[in-house]
Amino acid sequence: MTESITLGDIAIEVTRKNVRNVHLSVHPPDGRVTLVAPRATRLEVARTYAIAKLGWIRDQQARLHAQARETPRRLVERESHYLWGRRYLLSVEEREARPGVKLDHKRITLTVRPGSDREKRADVMHEWHKRLLHDAIPPLIASWEARLGVRVSAYHLQRMKTKWGSCNPSKGNIRLNTELVKKPKDLLEYIIVHEMAHLIEPTHNERFITLLDRHYPGWREARDELNALPLKAEYW
């Protein structure tokens, strides 16, 4: 059961689970606060713990609110776009041909039919992004299946507003945010490892942290780098 406590202007969702310690989290992009506590924890004890961490909560929220946002992409000539962490200029070609996207060393060329609006251009780009991710993801999953000793039954790509990925341990599948195509590939790998580790341990408890420490020692740096990168304006 989820309850809530309020500290001034901060609302905190409190969930009791089969965990040993209290876990307090501030979530991007808007600074939502959650507290996971052992099942026997009284709400007053959770409140006292949160009060002791109030300064940390405010610092984390301030960092998120100050985080850079991408300006909305208009998908027009010479606009900046990012792919695997690198900046490219967009070139738009309008002609009677099948819509598509090509990439060279410094430019992304978007081909659309004359009169195509921003929504149509965005759809073409999004489909291209998904194809790139479908090329990149399976080899990473296969590599980490062997290293973690798990099996991913399926993966899915989805636009997500508040998460880089998610896992359904009971079904053995993972879900990944299509925005990851814009981030460096090592950060895509980190998210894949993170979600695959949930096939072993569904919660963010000490066992989960130990798994990441053992198999992906740089996960904290990857997490911080990912959360420091610009967020997408129209979806976050």
Residues 145-162: tens digit of each pLDDT: 999 999 999 999 998 877
> How large is the average pLDDT for residues 179-199?
95
- 66/111: higher pLDDT: 111
- The domain spans of the chain are 2-66, 80-228
pTM of the model: 0.72
Whether 164 contacts 177, CB under 8 Å: yes
Task: Give tens-digit pLDDT for 22-44.
Answer: 889 888 767 889 999 999 999 99
- What pLDDT shows up at residue 2? 78
Q: Identify the burial level of 230 via C-beta atoms within 10 angstroms of its C-beta, where 0-12 means exposed, 13-18 middle and 19 or more buried.
A: middle
- Give the total residue count for the chain: 236
Query: Amino acid identity, residue 69?
Result: R
Which tokens hold the place of 89?
A: 């200029």
pLDDT greater than 90 at residue 11: yes
* Phi-psi map region of 201: left, alpha, beta (phi>0 left; psi -120 to 50 alpha): beta
> How large is the average pLDDT for residues 178-194?
95
Write the class of the CATH domain 80-228: alpha beta
pLDDT greater than 50 at residue 17: yes
Please spell the DSSP secondary structure of 74-117, one letter per residue: ---TT-EEEETTEEEEEEEEE-SS--EEEE-SSEEEEEE-TT--
Query: Amino acid identity, residue 202?
Result: P
Q: Kindly state the DSSP code that residue 229 receives in the 8-state scheme.
A: S
